[in-house]
Structure 1
């Protein structure tokens, strides 16, 4: 078992040594196995390879579960879409008993949920899973997306903002009566193969942003081979299979296969919060969300935001065939999308999915029992690949293959007790998806949304924000940044700012800074 005290404790299994004698990899057995699976073409150029290249190829083929790959392709391409028949029969709004909203709940109820969550955090029963496998390609960066600087006055990256929220929450939880001597929220960070080295290096260079190194655990999501539409595995060279990450839904197999679940068991963690790295407003290990799900006795939970309009291109959490699911906006017809709940006047299908989830560890351990039933989704792509007729690598101008992936919400139909929690979009959801200057879900909107939130923090605490003459107010937001080390979600400010003013532009890094800034 992996020790909970081992630095960077989850290590990706080492690949087979490429210098190993090819004969020891039982070439004939592998050849027969792949021919039986209809994938014998992968050895077409075997005799042209050097000894080292042959060993490298055989190592891949020996590791790959080719029969599973074939089953996944068959299931993904032959199962009819569940949305092809009458949606009025298939789709239903969320049951009232599993849904609550911070937009409607009383402050007393929200405080009750928060107290439950903080109590569990204070007993070291809560961990965090960060889905951070993506690169910032669309942002014009080759670095992992979490390294991206959205141009806050402090120049903090997404990783640093989230790390500091964990630090602050550990501090808040340690103030709970009966708290553990040292409150720890372990951070399990899922990378992809391409982002792993750069991510770990970034954390090392920044001294883990003040977190204890042994409580920041990296692990890699899995991969699946790229395939042609008729089910043939593709190659990117004569000695290399073409593979792609298996989607954020690959987190479940990765948690098990890399030893993360065993690490959680050793730490006696019972509850997990999972989210995507690109949301700059995410409340990491949110005690309100965790407390709500625990009070509901949920084994799986989803945080959602209210859709802006029926046509907003966002997936919706609802019932499909009487089970919980996320239905993509493109799969919902106009009549269903516009349907109104007569009890509250809101959209009946308005629970916008933001990939922000709660799990019990028991549920994560149970995923293996139904993993074979999970959906795989086809992403049709232009894939650079080997032409088996000529032996040349071609860069296609048109779509020529598919990448198969799972989505993190594909487990929802298998939950026994689901909880759906609606939160205020402007306080908790601002995704970073697009290049600078696009005006939507881009670095400028992320920066604006954080700064505007920090203005609200001051105003809600009874203070007044005065915009200075030299404040450029980029994107219309006064330049007021408050470090997560000062406040997690606006708490602890009123004693300092109530009845006082603060002038922008200003960046507050500590409570002392705040005390010196008000007048």
Structure 2
């Protein structure tokens, strides 16, 4: 049976034979292109996901009760009373990092469209004195953390490795890889930076038919940041179908994984405190959260929904629930655990996702999707003026209800969360707020180390010099009167 016959049989059995509408009008090259594109789609899986999502959207889960997180699964780093816990968790995390058991998953599939940039979001320069991109800031935090682990654990220089797995999408793949190559992987060994693509799904008509984008192509879209899970299973190279991110993690002996989104300039990559906390709790999945800024902040919170850990959207919480106080901490909100897309997994849990994926209901987004009509096949692509189709997305937190041992760690917002979402000048979650937040944090690093910083002075300290404020003992008693960027602690003397 030829490739054409096999695919036609599959798509016909899946009730999607219309994808061959233009076959008789295509030349040999175009037919090959169509077959290659159809081969990329697991049409049976796509149909199952569509049916499950439609069923879930019609049924709804409004009856599920929503409750705050249980005390035995919710801890905080905030407050002097937790200093000893933080130090203990950090030690556990550093030990795991030093043993080569920790890897990092970066969700970086988004484009910088809302920022007014045509580049992937990780390439964005938020306007620091150094003009470092988000990718560079995060790469240098990995480099510094490796050095910290080596020094504190007494290991040889270059012996600690934190592998970085970067999830990109089809549109951002070439530009992201080119950016890393141009900057020589920011000092990281090329072999320890692994790119992989998030999953894609066909776009569907409301009636469940996949949409043709052109005579040789199905309309597809990335399947949300939850495409991470399918992406982990996919071959890293067509020439080596057995080599995936999951198999690579296993071959390197990586047992614990920190996952985060690229747009947070304050993210502590492979955070030893969070990793150590999760290991101590024997979590198979964990979420790092920050306190809500206000009761009615428009942000999802990690809570119990139907007695399962979930991210509950702000629209699902009543006014009374939003304003409810924590019985243990009366000055804090009961529903305060704001989701920041910052997670911990064991490798075993990530390997298990495929076994319950069929139970996950993807989220439905109604969109305007360019299409080729099959009832009047002219071959021309039509761009609709209103919504005509459905894109299906999985969110990275949709796996929370399936974790057997789920835990949540609260951290201080000003120290660990400053997202980049909006165009310059917006006034919130934009390049200006990101830059301001990171520079304010570095001023606090100096002050906590015993230095004084003159009002109006702005100092950027390279992540290569300090990961989270450590290593700055030499600044004690000094007063900084000049602004600037420094690549090392020694260079700070020029700003006194």
Q: Please classify the TM superposition score into its range, dividing by the shorter chain length.
A: over 0.9
Q: Matches of 2:315 and 2:99 in 1, distance apart?
A: 43
Which residue of the partner structure matches residue 501 of structure 1?
479
Which residue of the partner structure matches residue 368 of structure 2?
382
Q: 1:448 to 1:239 in 2, by over 3 A?
A: same
Which residue of the partner structure matches residue 239 of structure 2?
none
Q: Does 1:112 align with 2:88?
A: yes
State the TM-score, normalizing by the size of structure 1: 0.90
Deviation at 1:188, TM superposition (A): 0.5
Alignment of 1:210-359 (within 5 A): 210-258=187-235, 259-345=244-330, 346-359=332-345
Give 3-state SS (helix, strand or coil) of 1:103's partner.
coil
Which residue of the partner structure matches residue 490 of structure 1?
469
Q: Matches of 1:364 and 1:513 in 2, distance apart?
A: 43
Q: Does 1:26 align with 2:11?
A: no
Q: Matches of 1:496 and 1:515 in 2, distance apart?
A: 10
Deviation at 1:81, TM superposition (A): 6.8
Q: Matches of 1:172 and 1:141 in 2, distance apart?
A: 35
Q: Matches of 1:180 and 1:327 in 2, distance apart?
A: 45
Which residue of the partner structure matches residue 388 of structure 2?
400
Give 3-state SS (helix, strand or coil) of 1:113's partner.
helix
Which residue of the partner structure matches residue 241 of structure 2?
none
Q: Matches of 1:159 and 1:216 in 2, distance apart?
A: 12
Q: Matches of 1:34 and 1:437 in 2, distance apart?
A: 49
Give 3-state SS (helix, strand or coil) of 2:404's partner.
coil
Give 3-state SS (helix, strand or coil) of 2:201's partner.
strand
Which residue of the partner structure matches residue 13 of structure 1?
none
Deviation at 1:244, TM superposition (A): 0.5
Gaps of 5+ in 1: 1-22, 469-477
Q: Matches of 2:93 and 2:58 in 1, distance apart?
A: 39
Count of matched residue positions in the alignment of Structure 1 and Structure 2: 483
Which residue of the partner structure matches residue 140 of structure 1?
116
Deviation at 1:299, TM superposition (A): 0.8
- Kindly provide the CA deviation profile for residues 241-297 of structure 1, in whole angstroms up to 9, marking residues without a partner as x: 100011111111211223111111111111110000000000000001111111111
Q: Matches of 1:411 and 1:439 in 2, distance apart?
A: 33
Q: Matches of 2:7 and 2:346 in 1, distance apart?
A: 40
Q: 1:167 to 1:96 in 2, by over 3 A?
A: same
Q: Which runs of 4+ in 1 moved over 6 A?
A: none
Which residue of the partner structure matches residue 512 of structure 1?
490
Q: Matches of 1:82 and 1:421 in 2, distance apart?
A: 32
State the TM-score, normalizing by the size of structure 2: 0.94
- Kindly provide the CA deviation profile for residues 10-36 of structure 1, in whole angstroms up to 9, marking residues without a partner as x: xxxxxxxxxxxxx93133x43343233
- Of 63, 66, 76, the residue aligned with 1:101 is 76
Q: Matches of 1:329 and 1:312 in 2, distance apart?
A: 8
Q: 1:81 to 1:231 in 2, by over 3 A?
A: closer
Mapped contact 2:56–2:361 kept (Cα < 8 A):
no
- Of 133, 150, 153, the residue aligned with 1:177 is 153
- Kindly provide the CA deviation profile for residues 427-483 of structure 1, in whole angstroms up to 9, marking residues without a partner as x: 100000111111111111111111111111111111111146xxxxxxxxx422111
